[in-house]
Chain A
Amino acid sequence: MKRLFLLAAAVAFVATPAFAQDTITIGFTDSQTGPLNVDSLGQQRGYEYWRDEVNAAGGIKVGDKRYKVKFVSYDDQSVGGRVQQLYTRLVTQDKADFLFSPYSSGLTAPATVISEQYGKIMIDSGGAEEKPFETGNKYLFMVITSASHYLSGAVDALKQKDPNAKLALVYSDDPFSKAVLAAAAQQAKAAGLQIVMNESYSPSTTDFGPVVNKIVSSNADAFLGGGHYSDGATLARQMHDQRANMKWMSILVAPSDDKFAELGPAALGVTVPSQWELQVNYKPQFGPTTAQFAKAFQEKFHAKADYHTASGYTVGVVLQHAIEQAGSIDTDKVAAALNAMDITTFFGRIKFATDANHHGLQVAHQMVLAQWQMINGKLGRQVVWPPEAKSADLLYPIPAATQ
């Protein structure tokens, strides 16, 4: 009896369907708690900013109708274990029409499975790893440059500065960083650079002392690696504290956050592959220009836009464009519009792969390499690569730490 009662109670509070006319419901999870909360917040602000802009302008135009955008989102706690449950809920219960990705490759991978199982479009700006796109999907689309191209700019730049550089590749043992560095290792070899150390560390590492000593012992003079925010920033600080004196430091993700400046002298000269910087200047065919975006974002959030917000915003812009092109919110029609898309936004050019084994991977967008430099006596990021997009000259080698 008791069980039946409990079941009935469960039924009562699980079943509250939401249905509304003339709105498009978009579902996603974000990491309000847990270790990914900083990066996730940037992306989430990008999503929300886009929604507010669209709704303020009256909604997305479909034929002669206008649809307002509604978000449903849950906290995934930065843990993959809850992601599928929550995305299933978004699709089945909250009746989401479209899905956005959570932040990070580790969480995006389980979410993509749900999008395929239930046949919903998911636009991804949070997971750069390619693997989920290689199992024959139909509804996944990645707006950002995927993991294997993250460090190609850094390798090119380094080769130009010092073809005899000795590289230490030291990176977090997570899907994204491993994919990035595996590709970078190949590109470095192809470029004739010497790799003297190639190792991963556990994402939970808090003390990099022994690792830094090992890097020093390897006689490397260039460093490529990192992972997400905490480990990347800790590594940068300990490399500086222990005076590893690298001539080149490229760290993933962490230095693209403005908080990285808190590290002070340890931040100077660190480069980061970036999907987007304030200095990039593409001529958008659709949506705002970089200057407009940056200014409006600053006014709304009192924070500088970074690449997570920009890519999050772009996800919305891309979806909006596809819906308007398709003239429908039908999944297959929108997917067809996405497959055919080739536009330039303030974030860069967007075009998706359409062959079955790589469907939805980004093929047009280009990353830039940003470097922390002194700008008017304050630390700030400058775009230093590729040469045609640069806002400042590359600082090489990084000036040695002084006592």
Chain B
Amino acid sequence: MLLMLRRPFFWIIALAVVAFALAPVVGNDVSMRESLLLDALYITLASNLNLMLGYAGYVNFGSIVFFGLGGYICVWLVNSYNWPLIPSLIVAGLGVSGLALIFGFGILRLRGAFFALATIGVIEAVQAFVENFTPWGGSAGVYLSGEIFKPLGGPAHALWIIYFMMVAVMGLSLYLSFAIKTSKFGLGLLAIGQNEDAAAILGVPTSRYKALVYSVSAFLPAIAGGLYFFKSAFIQPSDAFDLSLSTEALVVGMLGGEGTVTGVAIGAFLYEELRGYLLTSSTFANFQLVVSGALLLLIVLFFPGGLMGFIYSRFPRTQKVLE
């Protein structure tokens, strides 16, 4: 771990996190904060998905299940048992990770497209289940009262605290990606991603590693989900388990360059800013789907390695610095 301190990339992440935390504070700019909060959320989701997709080579359409379940557990604990926010978040993270671990051993027997399909099945099944699950309000969801922000100093203050927590979760996600990538665990995952059979024969405990990374990749998104829906003060199944958000996280990873820490983060940042821009610009409002689709197609056709693939090939020395 101490070795990481000597890598320049460690400090690049630190710098990015500090920049995120300070940027909206400087001008007390609330709308920038809201926009950056979503950026931080997307970076968190995409980075953790990247552990499965970029490292272990498994396409997980169901990554949003972690986010949604985390949100539900957290909101439920806060609402029904009056738990404070932090313990609720931790329980949400651990609970969802635990579920993912158990579940991972079953579903990770599948490979390639079959795994991808099964994860679509998982997200649909979980959403359909929660819609029928009355303790969580079924399809109507759960509403939090305005009172919940009192312990954090009222809504205005609470939103800042939540923002800083979300940035912290983003920082942890980036460090987690970085730490795993430079570890033995990460090496084993990359080997699985390249050729699972060969990896097994070389001694990589494939089933255990896959289930483990599935579970690890669930932890921070679950906490991010808890934060996000606590902030929203409202959770309903269609928002919590939105398949298109999962797909977006995949797209973001591919755009930035799967398997890289930097690329995925920048990809998430740019994607979310672009979507936000298209959504709110009067010129593109009616065509924002067309524009994002066309852009995506061009990138896929002509920059298949994603952003980092492009940067690495143009500036090979960056490979040494940017993971």
State if A and B touch, Cβ cutoff 8 Å.
yes
Mark A residues whose CB is within 8 Å of B.
2-4, 6-7, 10-11, 13-15, 32-33, 74-75, 77, 79-82, 84-86, 88-89, 92-93, 106, 109-110, 113, 116-118, 129, 131-132, 134-137, 173-175, 178-179, 200, 202-203
- Provide the bound-state CA to CA distance between A136 and B35, in Å: 28
Please name 16 pairs of A and B residues whose Cβ atoms are closer than 8 Å in the assembled complex, sorted by A. Answer: A3-B266, A4-B19, A6-B269, A10-B35, A79-B239, A81-B242, A85-B276, A86-B280, A88-B30, A106-B238, A109-B141, A109-B234, A110-B234, A129-B140, A175-B139, A179-B140
Q: Within the complex, what minimum Cβ distance (angstroms) separates A325 from chain B?
A: 26
Residues of B within 8 A of A32 (CB): 285-286
Q: Which of B19-71 contact A (CB under 8 A)?
A: 19-20, 23, 27, 29-32, 34-36, 38-39
Q: Which residue of A lies closest to B141 (CB)?
A: A175
Interface size on B, residues (CB 8 A): 54
19 further interface pairs, Cβ-Cβ under 8 Å (given A10-B273, A13-B273, A106-B236): A6-B270, A10-B32, A75-B285, A75-B286, A82-B279, A85-B35, A85-B276, A88-B31, A109-B234, A109-B236, A110-B234, A116-B155, A129-B140, A131-B140, A131-B143, A136-B145, A178-B140, A200-B139, A203-B238
- Provide the bound-state CA to CA distance between A89 and B15, in Å: 27
Q: Which of B189-243 contact A (CB under 8 A)?
A: 231-234, 236, 238-239, 242
- Provide the bound-state CA to CA distance between A2 and B266, in Å: 9
Please determine whether A109 and B138 come into contact, CB atoms closer than 8 angstroms.
Answer: no
Please determine whether A136 and B146 come into contact, CB atoms closer than 8 angstroms.
Answer: yes
Residues of A within 8 A of B39 (CB): 10
Residues of A within 8 A of B273 (CB): 10, 13
The B interface, classified by DSSP as helix, strand, loop or mixed, is helix
Known: A3-B15, A80-B239. A11 touches B23 (CB 8 A): yes
Residues of A within 8 A of B155 (CB): 116-118
**CB-CB contacts of B294-308 with A at 8 A, as 1s and 0s?**
000000000000000
Selected from B32, B159, B231, B245, the residue in CB contact (under 8 A) with A81 is: B245
- Provide the bound-state CA to CA distance between A113 and B141, in Å: 14
Please determine whether B34 and A89 come into contact, CB atoms closer than 8 angstroms.
Answer: yes
Q: Is the C-beta of B291 less than 8 angstroms from some C-beta in chain A?
A: no
Residues of A within 8 A of B323 (CB): none
- Provide the bound-state CA to CA distance between A309 and B42, in Å: 37
Q: Which residue of A lies closest to B35 (CB)?
A: A14
Q: Within the complex, what minimum Cβ distance (angstroms) separates A183 from chain B?
A: 13
Q: Within the complex, what minimum Cβ distance (angstroms) separates A182 from chain B?
A: 10
Selected from B34, B145, B245, B277, the residue in CB contact (under 8 A) with A135 is: B145
- Provide the bound-state CA to CA distance between A77 and B286, in Å: 10
Residues of A within 8 A of B269 (CB): 6, 10
- Provide the bound-state CA to CA distance between A129 and B236, in Å: 14
What total count of A-B pairs have CB within 8 Å?
127
For B39, B132, B146, the residue with the greatest tally of chain A CB atoms inside 10 Å of its CB is B146
- Provide the bound-state CA to CA distance between A175 and B32, in Å: 32
Residues of B within 8 A of A88 (CB): 30-31, 34
Residues of B within 8 A of A110 (CB): 232, 234, 239
- Provide the bound-state CA to CA distance between A200 and B140, in Å: 12
Q: Is the C-beta of B90 less than 8 angstroms from some C-beta in chain A?
A: no
Q: Which residue of A lies closest to B154 (CB)?
A: A117
Please determine whether B138 and A85 come into contact, CB atoms closer than 8 angstroms.
Answer: no
- Provide the bound-state CA to CA distance between A358 and B38, in Å: 32
Residues of B within 8 A of A117 (CB): 146, 149, 155-156, 159, 233
Please determine whether B239 and A135 come into contact, CB atoms closer than 8 angstroms.
Answer: no
Please determine whether A33 and B16 come into contact, CB atoms closer than 8 angstroms.
Answer: no
- Provide the bound-state CA to CA distance between A208 and B145, in Å: 37
Known: A80-B238, A81-B245. A7 touches B19 (CB 8 A): yes
Residues of A within 8 A of B128 (CB): 202
Known: A10-B273, A75-B288. A15 touches B139 (CB 8 A): no
- Provide the bound-state CA to CA distance between A137 and B29, in Å: 25
- Provide the bound-state CA to CA distance between A4 and B236, in Å: 36
- Provide the bound-state CA to CA distance between A118 and B149, in Å: 13
Please determine whether A175 and B29 come into contact, CB atoms closer than 8 angstroms.
Answer: no
- Provide the bound-state CA to CA distance between A375 and B58, in Å: 61
Known: A7-B19, A74-B280, A113-B232. A15 touches B32 (CB 8 A): yes
- Provide the bound-state CA to CA distance between A92 and B28, in Å: 11
- Provide the bound-state CA to CA distance between A178 and B137, in Å: 11
Please determine whether A92 and B285 come into contact, CB atoms closer than 8 angstroms.
Answer: no
For B20, B36, B149, B238, the residue with the greatest tally of chain A CB atoms inside 10 Å of its CB is B238
Please determine whether B23 and A175 come into contact, CB atoms closer than 8 angstroms.
Answer: no
Q: Within the complex, what minimum Cβ distance (angstroms) separates B85 from chain A?
A: 16
Known: A79-B242, A80-B236. A132 touches B32 (CB 8 A): no
Residues of A within 8 A of B132 (CB): 173
Q: Which residue of B lies closest to A173 (CB)?
A: B139
- Provide the bound-state CA to CA distance between A74 and B276, in Å: 10
Residues of A within 8 A of B288 (CB): 75
Residues of A within 8 A of B276 (CB): 85
Residues of A within 8 A of B231 (CB): 84
- Provide the bound-state CA to CA distance between A318 and B38, in Å: 34
For A113, A178, A179, the residue with the greatest tally of chain B CB atoms inside 10 Å of its CB is A113
Please determine whether A109 and B143 come into contact, CB atoms closer than 8 angstroms.
Answer: yes
Q: Which residue of B lies closest to A87 (CB)?
A: B34
- Provide the bound-state CA to CA distance between A118 and B245, in Å: 27
Q: Is the C-beta of B161 less than 8 angstroms from some C-beta in chain A?
A: no
Sorted from nearest, which 7 A-B pairs have the closest CB atoms?
Answer: A93-B31, A175-B140, A92-B31, A135-B145, A117-B155, A80-B239, A92-B30
Please determine whether A175 and B236 come into contact, CB atoms closer than 8 angstroms.
Answer: yes
Please determine whether A135 and B266 come into contact, CB atoms closer than 8 angstroms.
Answer: no
Q: Which residue of A lies closest to B269 (CB)?
A: A6
Please determine whether A15 and B236 come into contact, CB atoms closer than 8 angstroms.
Answer: no
Q: Which residue of B lies closest to A9 (CB)?
A: B273
- Provide the bound-state CA to CA distance between A129 and B140, in Å: 10
- Provide the bound-state CA to CA distance between A15 and B258, in Å: 31
- Provide the bound-state CA to CA distance between A2 and B238, in Å: 36
- Provide the bound-state CA to CA distance between A328 and B159, in Å: 29
Please determine whether B34 and A6 come into contact, CB atoms closer than 8 angstroms.
Answer: no
Q: Which residue of B lies closest to A174 (CB)?
A: B139
- Provide the bound-state CA to CA distance between A200 and B132, in Å: 9
Residues of A within 8 A of B102 (CB): none
